Amino acid sequence: MENKSKSERKREMASLQELGERLLELSNEQVREIAIPGELEEALVLARTLKSHGARRRQMQHIGVLMRKIDSEPIRTAIEEIDRGQKRKAHEFHQIEKMRDSLLEGSDAVFEEITGRFPDADIQKIRQLVRSSRKEEKEGRPPKQSRLLFKYLREIYGKR
């Protein structure tokens, strides 16, 4: 057993507590995907139900103690993987938004990009949605067709 200073042990404990807080931020489905012991999972469920600040703080400290007993590295890795997936989805979302906006502005280069990247895309459908979206915008109606265009672009983006 290695001798660690009190400050180093406190830093490790704080780090494990932060990891526990990060686990609380995840959805139940995401937590189930991570292999965590039953006692820790029960502590997380209980922490989600607590409203009192003091009780929640004590429960988080308890979670930190439980995490000290297990190897937290696989949990940390799983959380990082979830974060990367969320960042990738956000990036894809922004790419699709840019593509839709460029189409609505009349960029022909985007049509070429779509046919190159997504050979299965129905260009005729995209052109129709773009025309309908522009007409809606001109008439001051809600952007239903623009949403449909975004939805279709997201659909073909997901197929690749």
Annotation: CATH topology of 6-70? Diphtheria Toxin Repressor; domain 2 (1.10.60)
CB 160 within 8 A of CB 96: no
Residue 12 has which token pair? 């490790």
CATH architecture of 86-159: Orthogonal Bundle (1.10)
- Same topology for domains 6-70 and 86-159, yes or no? yes
CA distance 150 to 93: 9
The predicted-structure confidence for 65-124, as pLDDT tens digits, reads as follows: 888 888 889 999 999 999 999 999 999 999 999 999 999 998 888 888 888 888 888 989
The predicted-structure confidence for 22-44, as pLDDT tens digits, reads as follows: 988 888 788 888 888 888 888 88
Domain regions of the chain by residue span: 6-70, 86-159
Q: In this structure, what DSSP letter does residue 35 have?
A: -
